[in-house]
Chain A
Amino acid sequence: MSTLPFDPLLAAIFAPLAVALAIACGLPKRFSVKLAYVGFGLPLLLALHVWFYYGTAAQTHGYAFLTSYSTGLDSLGIGLKLGLNGISLPLFVLAGIVGFAAGLYAIQSGAERLKIYLMLLLVMQGGLMGVFASVDIFFFYFFHELALIPTFIMVGIWGGRDRNYAAMKLTIYLTLGAMLSLIGLIALYVKSGAHSFDLIELRRVIAAQPLEVTVQHNIFGLLALGFGILVSLWPLHTWAPLGYGAAPSSAAMLHAGVLKKFGLYGLIQIALPLLPAGLIQWSHPLAWLAVVGNVLVIGFVTIAQRDLKQMVGYSSVMHMGYAFLGIAAGSTLGVGGVVLLMVAHGLSVALMFLLTTSVYHRTHTFALDEMGGLAQKAPVLSALFVAATFAGIGLPGFANFWGELTIFVALWKFSPLITILAVAGVVISAVYGLRAAARVFFGPATPEFAKIAAEHPVSDLRWSERLPALILLAALMFIGFWPKSLSTALDATLTPAPAAQVGAVK
């Protein structure tokens, strides 16, 4: 049992926010950077702490570490209620790890206006911890937006090419997605008759009196559309490669790695248990969109990319397709696979964005045609990049493997045809992943790269860059070799014992 004298979840949310506030109040740069280590480190430590003690912690209504705080809107059924179950625990840990890595990478990046950059990242980090710790779906949404706003600002100010256009497009797409899902959540609030945003209360009310089937269809459709935009479901994905292409690396790491999982998490945590009939209605359209659009079409688009960062952006859109397939399959196995894949993808895509930026600092271009032969000059970078590529493809030994494998197994029961198409996607991701690695690192150096290398001497990864990369890789392999560290808790939440179900109804 956890023995901390304070609520670890609340502390993990407010530590980064407090540091951000301190920086905003005009802390000198030297202290700001030191304090930022605390702001990024504390959530990680607390996340590891709750991960370690989750199995032995006392559970109330299926949640460990459950606490609630009033914010003055109790009469409307809104209150800050924090807790972790088997679905949110892996993502909470993911947010802690990726946040720490992104923070470390940002601190060493030497960005202009570093203080404000760190401040925004810290706000994002606080929001991310909050998203997955919230049991109240109002605060779940609220923390998501809190994390989203800094993304827009960071793309707009520190972004690369087309940053103004990218920031605007990102803002409008994601606002639309967020508004649609908000309406869906309000629909749940009103139609369930619970008049509470508390997920536990909602579950209790809906278990006692399930929603009408048509209502379930409509709300699920609304949520799938809204969350779908946020998770870049084809054909509403166009913001993602553009946004990630322009975003500064730490922002892309946090957004693609963690924040984007908000929509999937919402579908799993809220829509599936509360709107089972909705899933049955929508699972086939959703699965076909995901497999044809995200996996195959975007897969081929990814192969065609000539820009390394765009390629990573598109590949992340493609992998979201697998997650939607797992959700469409609907079984415990499929959904569990999605959660594992979310964690694995979060770690691997963050690692990929980090390494891509490190490559850029050495080649001064993202154009694949102008690179080559970097492995001779930066062996560590190339080894890490190849490892990240393997993880992305889903080779055994990395966490991604377990996610994709379980999704495919669950999907076979749902539709063998879709499964075959989806498995073909693995070949696609092997093609673009390995080709990119080969282009960048192996073969002879192109004349362009030779020229750049002559102007700017190329060095291998510095330790300040290596450390965050190694943390991410270690987490990927840890889960890859020991998936049980996450799946035990996941299993317990996804398959409640009959007795627990009866208890939930009462």
Chain B
Amino acid sequence: MDISVLQTLASRNLWGAITPEILLGGLALVLLVIELLFPKEHGRIVPVAALVGLVTILGGVLFNAPSAYLNQETFNGLLVHTHGGQVMRVFFLLAAIMVCLIARVSLAKQTLPRVEFYHIVLVVTAAMMLLAQSNHLVLFFVALETVTIGLYILVSYYRTSLTLEAGLKYLVMGALSSSLMLFGIVLLYGVAGNPALPAHTAQSMHYGQLAAFLAANPHNFLASIGIVLVLAGVAFKIGAFPFQIWVPDVYQGAPTPVTAFLAVSSKAVGFTALLALAGTVFASYAWLVAPVLTFFAATTLLFGNFAALTQHNVKRLIGLSGVSHAGFLLLGVAAVSHAPMAVGAIYFYLFAYLLASFAVFGVMAHVAGTNDADQELDHYAGLAKDRPFLALVLALGLGSLAGIPPLVGFMGKLFIFIAAFQAGLYGLLAIAVIGVVVSIYYYFGWIKAAFFETWGKSADSPAHPERTPVDFVTGFALSALALAVVVLGFYQGPLGSWLSGR
């Protein structure tokens, strides 16, 4: 190979385009250095350093929006910097900040090394941000595996028997889904590179090239198997039926901050991938993708909501309710091809889900005892009396997850419903309405546990673990989340147009 070719290729590596991701990686390394330099103090310094770094990077991303590289392909087509990618960057950074805050509360109840946790969160976040901007199946897979492997470690971080069981389950199921997806990618690669077919391409992992090939061969058998396998792999990440079986056990066993990370960021990763793949690359296979998505959406909505009805452990409950949220989002994805506003609706829903979920997880971290897996609904009895602030945040978070106006979750559902209606998905809408009504039951059961039970009676509430007092930073973050949940419900202001990309 001529050196000049390499030079041209290298000149397309615009490193400036991924400054936030590089900084995150650097920050992760700095945390390790801090651990070496301050062996005694690092327990306190590292979380603060991680948080300050994350907030700075988030500020930088917001300050530089819209990025100078918008709508450009960099790194020879590995990455593309779209508006959606920018939105998801902010999303993952916000999520990482909240995970670190919750981890500060939750890790303090365990006797464990604390530094690596933040390190891994940062690396995984950087990988998620890259994945949101990937434009190439190789980068997509590598980033996804980085995320998944980081999560394998995090899930079994507490090393109790339940946590290890959860880690093992996640590992086995994750490996299965990764291999499914990889097989699908290989099939696509092979088919698209077949010189006997029209529009075959050497760059068959590149989204644009692959899309062009698929458009030229809209009924290729091998390609359709590859597409279904890739979709199945993504369905595992978002916990869509029938790939949701790992969700309750892993959510219960994983440490609370990791559960939050799984529930929010990992799910969002799946949806960014799904938007990029199902919405654009596989667009010419709508005859196949649409029924698959419809099946996923319908079964996921029904399963998530009905399975959550019977749960008493709040981590399992929120896990299964998360499955139902995946169903609502899938409804949006299914609508993308017919209703352009669905993309903005999905972003809005994801942000609404982020705000409300972290409000709930933040409260859970405070209510949980030393046994992190043991968080029952009964432990919430009398929360309104004991800790009115936490109870209020919890109620707002759950209300928003249930989609009750005037909270932001309602707006998310409304946009998804409008998009679904525009796309003519009436059957799915009917199922979604059933889902909303059923979900009211279990979300209100939780709120009831925190409010109603003890307010009538006197204080003979069942035993519950010691509740951690709320410190200033966490209190501030939780208040900000609660405020955002309320205010964004009726005033979206510039955010509404930013998310919908208008």
Contact = CB atoms under 8 A, between A and B. Distances in A.
B496 A172 contact: no
B436 A179 contact: yes
B347 to A, nearest CB: 14
Interface in B418-472: 418, 421-422, 429, 433, 436-437, 440-441, 444, 448, 451-452, 455-456
A175 interface: yes
A469 to B, nearest CB: 28
A187 B492 contact: no
B493 A172 contact: no
Contacts of A175: 436-437, 440
Interface string A159-185: 000011001100110011001101100
A145 B406 contact: yes
B451 A72 contact: no
A157 B455 contact: yes
Contacts, number: 87
Contacts of B455: 113, 157
A172 B437 contact: yes
B153 interface: no
Nearest to A173: B437
Main secondary structure on B side of the interface with A? helix
B490 A71 contact: yes
A194 interface: no
Given A75-B497, A157-B451, A186 B491 contact: no
A163 B414 CA distance: 30
Contacts of A142: 405-406, 410, 490
Nearest to A80: B490
B40 interface: no
A380 interface: no
Given A142-B405, A156-B452, A71 B492 contact: yes
Contact of B492 (A73, A149, A153, A176): A73
A163 B341 CA distance: 42
A190 B422 contact: yes
Contact of A183 (B417, B440, B452, B490): B417
Contact of A149 (B404, B451, B497): B404
Number of contact residues on B: which range applies? Answer: 20 to 34
A167 B436 CA distance: 17
Given A142-B405, A145-B404, A163-B456, A189 B493 contact: no
A72 B406 contact: no
B399 interface: yes
Interface residues of A, number: 32
A156 B433 contact: no
B440 A172 contact: yes
Interface string A66-99: 0000011101100000000000000000000000
Interface string B381-422: 000000000000000000100001110001000110110011
B433 A183 contact: yes
Given A164-B448, A182-B414, A149 B399 contact: yes
A75 B405 contact: no
Contacts of A149: 399, 404
Interface in A40-75: 71-73, 75
A216 to B, nearest CB: 16
A74 B456 CA distance: 45
B428 to A, nearest CB: 12
Interface in B60-107: none
A71 B493 contact: yes
Contacts of B491: 71-72
A156 B448 contact: yes
7 contacts: A75-B502, A113-B455, A145-B404, A157-B451, A163-B456, A172-B440, A172-B441
Interface of A: 71-73, 75-76, 113, 138, 141-142, 145-146, 149, 152-153, 156-157, 163-164, 167-168, 171-172, 175-176, 179-180, 182-183, 186-187, 189-190
When A and B form their complex, which 3 residue pairs have the shortest distance between CB atoms, in order from nearest? Answer: A145-B405, A72-B493, A72-B492
